[in-house]
Structure 1
Amino acid sequence: MEPKFLINHTKFSAFNPFELYDNVHDDHQHFPQPEIDNFTPDLPSLQDVNHNQIQLQEFENHDPINCSSLSKSKSKSTFAPPGSLELISNYQSKFKRLRDDSVDDTKFKSHESLSTVEIIKLAAEKFIKFSTQRVDGYTMFTHPYGSSAFTSLSVDETRDVELVFQLLTAAEKVGRKHFELATKYLLQCGLVASDESSPIERLVYYLSEALHKRISNETGIHVPTKREKTGLKNETPVAMGSNPTFLACHQALPFNQILQFSGIQAILDQVGTSSKVHLIDIHIRSGVQWTAMIQAVSEQKSQIEILKLTAFATSSDVQNVGETGKRLESFATSLSLPFEFRILLLSDITEVEEQQFDVQEGETVAVYCQKILSTLISRPRSLENLMRVISTINPSIIVVAEVEANHISTSFVNRFTETLFSYGAIFDSLEACMSRNNAHRAIVEGVHLADCIQNIVATEGDERISRGVNLNTWRSFFVRFGMEEIEFSDSCMYQANLVLKQFSCASSCTLENNGKCLIVGWKGTPLHSLSTWRFIRE
């Protein structure tokens, strides 16, 4: 479908949407939870990392709309069998070439610094080579291996590789319940890792804390982590995104803006020149993306009778949602756009009924879901109800932005390795986009990312709610609700590239088409997916 009109990015860039949030004070004592990652439940994956852990047949045997069968938490984790290679052998697809050319040789010739993920790949290669030698012992730094890449590392890179190698070894010991030996490796990591230094050290620091927490959970012996000792964990978590930390990350990192501008453009493509447009935001957060929508609609040639925005809210966040609505109403008024903001107050955002949407005759409906559906699948009945109710209003488009990850494995070692790579890319992006002493970065890493990492690594069963799934898993899930993908228009891809060009880190952020969907990554590591859907009507 040809776009009816485009977001005028030049004009929108001249207008600073963050001016709408001038009344938000830089108060580090009360901050909302930055939106970097989200949680997902145990949806069976169509393609596990080795394509043989969870078979397609296992997923297809489920009832098409019975979500309760899709999330069966296990109280006990699946631990690695004897043999260190289990930690890595099921993850070969993450580093396709763990040989002498596993890292680009041109980087060594030009002395270009290796990325966090490239460091992890080298450490994984060393781990595999070391493990095959069946050498026991505590100190392993001098073990020989043949990759030429190692001989060209700088002093700092060599230290980082050894640090990740120790972390992998500690994780393997935890997986085999060799907790005493694992603790020794973690103490070694603690001598080097820091939450204020390089991205590798920060990553290892928080993963080590998570492994300590897992050991405590397994043994029943509580050992306070540094985060608990400093009181950082006691900071108030947030649900909304209109706070200084969220806005700082939104401006510094390209990911959210790419997802939002492209998603809004997809909505514009579908609603076309409709005179009555009804937007439904399942989890509105800051609402910054809707300023672009409001401006674009106000500039279209056809007369708009009403642009309505319904935002879900619970009692805990209704005040923040209300403030977001007032800012958007003020902006719409300044553009003389007929705009209505409505709060749908629910005890739980999934406990909604068709009539509560208040969809009027003649309205073209669009549903926006940014990193929220994945937080609900651990409660399958609630998600099922939400999807069924959405289907009854038959929206012209559903925009879904999610974390692209595979954190659902019941195997601890698989989950740990996935976390190492995906969060390695996230810490690398923060290093490139924010200074090391940035207070907002400290909050993002020390509270939000640390909590997600700990939940993935340290917990099992119902307590593990941080469960990212990949795009193919979402595809299988949505198909069971009678949904089909909508292909992104050229204008959507134009918006994604236009947004990216405004960031100095543009060359590191990757945009790739996956079927009809968009994958946003960092230096080749997928981090986010953006897809658009509609219900099939016969």
Structure 2
Amino acid sequence: MSAMNFFEKFGFAGYLDNYSPYEDFSVEGENLVKQIHLYGTKVWGEPGPIGSFCPDQDSTAEERFLLSKNQQEEQQQLCPGFGILDDLCLDVASLPFQSSQVEIPKFACVQTENSEPVKPNKEEPHAFPLTSFGILKDHGSRVRQLKEGKTIVPTYDTACTELDGRKLSTETIMRLAGEKFIQSSAQRVDDPFMINHPFSSSYIGLSDEEAKDVELVQYLLASAEKVGQQQFDRASKLLNHCASLSSRIGNPVERVVYYFSEALQEKIDQETGRIRPKGFGKKHLLDLEDALRGPNVSIIEVHQKVPFSQLIHYAGMQAITENTAEAKKVHIIDLEIRSGMQYAVLMQALASRCEGPVELLKITAIGTTAKPKIEETGKRLMSFAQSLNLLFSFNVVEVSDILDLNENLFELDAEEAVAVYSSYLLRTMIAGSDRVEHLMKVIRNIKPRIMLVSEVEANHNSPVFVNRFLEALFYYGGYFDSLEDCMDRNDSHRFFFESVCLFNTVRNIIAAEGEERITRHVNINAWRAFFAQFGMKEIELSSSSLYQASLAVKNFACKSSCTLGMDGKCLIIGWKGTPIYSLSAWKFL
């Protein structure tokens, strides 16, 4: 279909139209006092003006951008089987697993624990490494206390089958299975059917489906343990049982187990030499990364129905607007531009701000590949800017290797207010730390007013395979749960997103090692330690930015399950208590 019809069909629902600028706030003196509930936490502060983000009653900025009439290019079809998660797939390991390690090559000051991969213990074939037990146990309490006493997530009582009329969340099922797996660690489970018997009485209070799901996850945990101990024949037997009970079209637990089982089997095949194609890990991720530069019908559908990316877009663009408020010229340097949808929000804000519209908005996109697709994104943005009578410039800085990037390649103007936007890019550079270090030095020389960083809030970079597996299991359990609540089970776009985007990210985390493992999510604390090396200071997101996120989430039917909270000055977006994404703001000292 043409791009015009494509965007008409998959336009974005507006979320600010039905809310007044100061809804849920009360006035006390000259300050607006917080009363707004961010679905799992509260926000403290003094909101600034946010009227510039209120679109007209007919359409939002994103809708009008997607409906731009100059978009006549054909929608590119993405080839299944490639893989990395697009900007919707993000999460920084935000659960404070004190027992797990963060492996960041050359980031010596970031790593606080020095651990070595645990060798298989053939005398105790069912014993997880102690750190892995710690990960399972850390999920026993779902109330996470953050700095200043703020609570990011609600408490879920696993003793009850239903919570406020809802079934147990996928993450809760995972945690119950982990607790029971710890209890069964001393018993042999070579025969899959030996898992059921010891704990049948402990399933009292669970529905039949929930009890089966808990057992299914136990089989998966047992198979991961065997893989970690290089007992591949035993692991394969358990995985065969997982395959017979799981399904990629079933409930979210069955779907998670299906894809994790596939990734585990692929790791077994590589470890045993059955398959070992050169460049296996990188090819899938890089090809998908290239294909997802630009509009994709399934990604847009997920964006429309699952709240995560929209919350980040609105909060992030509000932060940029505030930090460039008085500037006549605004220059955004985007480290990994894709569809560029977030800039429709920014353009509308800049075109209607109280201080008067900007004289020029310039966006510079950095790319090492796919320059034609980046240029197509620029054309769509140019068309939208013209509809707002906003003077706009779009440039591409293409380098064959990020190590070739330098500040002289940017067309910088002394009158410009420069902001840097990094969306789910930095975690792909951790494997080659010299590149991310070089990039940060270049950005420092540019001296931006603000740098916005959105990343996956998870720790999927442990050198210990079992630890990495467990962290990923809990994280993606939460992500699959969000898709279950926000989309139909038979939705083809959901199937694409799970089978291509999420699965190929999972398989890279689990099956790949060394330089082939590109997906290396780390949490906000790891990024803080790393950024400190470059004289970067974290700045607080304003109440207006948080308010924009709170308004955005209200547009979704699943709003009560989406949790917003603060980790210090960083916004954490979660799902039923599982952190999914982070958004942080930085300045250079």
- Interval containing the TM-score (normalised by the shorter chain): 0.7 to 0.9
Is the 2:565–2:571 Cα contact (8 Å) retained in structure 1?
yes
* Structure 2 CA distance for aligned equivalents of residues 516 and 235 of structure 1: 33
Hey, what does 1:190 align to over in structure 2?
243
User: Residue 438 and residue 324 in structure 1: after superposition, are their counterparts in 2 closer, same or farther (change >3 A)?
Assistant: same
- Distance in structure 2 (CA, Å) of the matches to 1:28 and 1:59: 38
**Residues 102 and 127 (structure 1 numbering): CA distance in 2 closer, same or farther, change over 3 Å?**
farther
Change in 2 beyond 3 A, CA 1:370/1:52: closer
Give structure 1 stretches of 5+ with no counterpart: 65-69, 225-230
CA change 1:128–1:39 in 2 (3 A) is: closer
Distance of aligned partners of 1:46 and 1:478 in 2 relative to their CA distance in 1, 3 Å threshold:
farther
Query: What's the CA shift string for 1:179-210, capped at 9, x where partnerless?
Result: 11111111111111111111111110111011
AA of the residue aligned to 2:233 = E
- Map of 1:123-272 to 2, 5 A cutoff? 123-133=177-187, 137-145=191-199, 150-222=203-275, 238-272=291-325
Give 3-state SS (helix, strand or coil) of 2:362's partner.
strand
Map residues 39-438 of structure 1 onto 2, 5 A cutoff. Answer: 49-51=97-99, 53=101, 62=109, 78-79=118-119, 81=121, 82=124, 83-86=126-129, 88-92=132-136, 94-97=138-141, 103-108=157-162, 112-133=166-187, 137-145=191-199, 150-222=203-275, 238-303=291-356, 304-314=358-368, 316-438=369-491
Distance 1:47 1:526 in 2: 7
- Does residue 529 (structure 1) correspond to residue 582 (structure 2)? The answer is yes
Q: Is the 8 A contact 2:422 2:453 kept in 1?
A: yes
More deviation, 129-138/490-499: 129-138
Deviations 1:94-136, CA, capped at 9 Å, x for gaps:
41349xx984445448663111111111111111111145676
Residue 389 (structure 1) shift: 0.8
Spell out, residue by residue over 1:78-108, the C-alpha distance to the aligned partner (whole angstroms, 9 max, x if none): 445434243741304541349xx98444544
Deviations 1:451-478 (A, max 9, x none): 1111111121111111110000000000
How far apart, in 2, do the equivalents of 1:200 and 1:302 lie? 51
Identity of aligned residues (%): 40
Q: Structure 1 residues 109, 241: CA separation in 2 closer, same or farther (over 3 Å shift)?
A: closer
- 1:9-34: CA deviations, max 9, x gaps? 34388231321386465665558964
In structure 2, the residue matched to 1:227 is none
1:349-388 CA-partner distances (Å, limit 9, x unpaired): 4531111111111111000001011111211111111111
Map 1:497-508; keep pairs closer than 5 Å.
Answer: 497-508=550-561
Q: Is residue 7–residue 293 contact of structure 1 (8 Å, CA) maintained in 2?
A: no
Q: Distance in 2 between matches of 1:29 and 1:277?
A: 34
Q: Alpha-carbon deviations, 1:219-278, whole Å to 9, x = none?
A: 112499xxxxxx9x9999624141212211111111111111101101111111211111
CA 517–46 in structure 1, closer or farther in 2 if over 3 Å, else same = closer
User: Which residue number corresponds to residue 36 of structure 1?
Assistant: 88
Report if the CA contact (8 A) 2:107-2:530 is conserved: no
Q: Which residue of 2 aligns with 1:492?
A: 545
Aligned residue identity for 1:216: D
The AA in structure 2 aligned to 1:116 is T
- Which shifted more, 236-245 or 338-347? 236-245
TM-score normalised by the chain length of structure 1 = 0.87
AA paired with 1:95? H
Which residue type is aligned with residue 89 of structure 2? D
The aligned length equals 512
Task: State the TM-score, normalizing by the size of structure 2.
Answer: 0.79
Amino acid at match of 1:308: K
CA offsets 1:25-66 (integer angstroms, 9 cap, x no match): 5665558964333699xxxx999723475799x99854x9xx
2:68 match? 20
Q: CA RMSD in A?
A: 3.4
- CA distance in structure 2 between the partners assigned to 1:345 and 1:237 by the alignment: 14
On the 8 A contact 1:329/1:340 being kept in 2, the answer is yes
CA separation of 1:516/1:59 partners in 2, compared to 1, >3 Å: closer, same or farther? Answer: farther
In structure 1, C-alpha distance between the alignment counterparts of 2:346 and 2:289, rounded to whole Å: 31
Q: Is the 8 A contact 2:170 2:481 kept in 1?
A: yes
CA distance in 2: counterparts of 1:493 and 1:353, whole angstroms: 34
Contact 2:220 2:261 in 1 (8 A): yes
Task: Tell me which amino acid in the other structure corresponds to 1:415.
Answer: R
Q: Tell me, yes or no, if the aligned pair for 2:334 and 2:364 is still in contact at 8 Å.
A: yes
Secondary structure in 2 matching 1:258: helix
2 CA distance for matches of 1:217 and 1:342?
42
Q: Secondary structure at the match of 1:220?
A: coil
Note closer, same or farther for the CA distance 1:107–1:466 as it changes in structure 2 (3 Å cut).
Answer: same
- 1:291 and 1:328 in contact (8 A); partners too: yes
| Residues 89 and 326 of structure 1: CA distance in aligned 2, closer, same or farther (over 3 Å) | same
Distance 1:283 1:345 in 2: 11
Bigger shift: residues 85-94 or 269-278: 85-94
Q: Distance in 2 between matches of 1:463 and 1:364?
A: 38
3-state SS of 1:309 partner: strand
SS in 2 for 1:11: coil
Q: 1:487-536 CA deviation, whole Å, 9 max, x = no partner?
A: 01110010010100001111111101010110001100001110000100
> Which secondary structure does the structure 2 equivalent of 1:91 belong to?
helix
| Aligned-partner residue type, residue 483 of structure 2 | L
Task: Tell me if the contact between 2:99 and 2:134 (Cα under 8 Å) persists in the aligned partners.
Answer: no
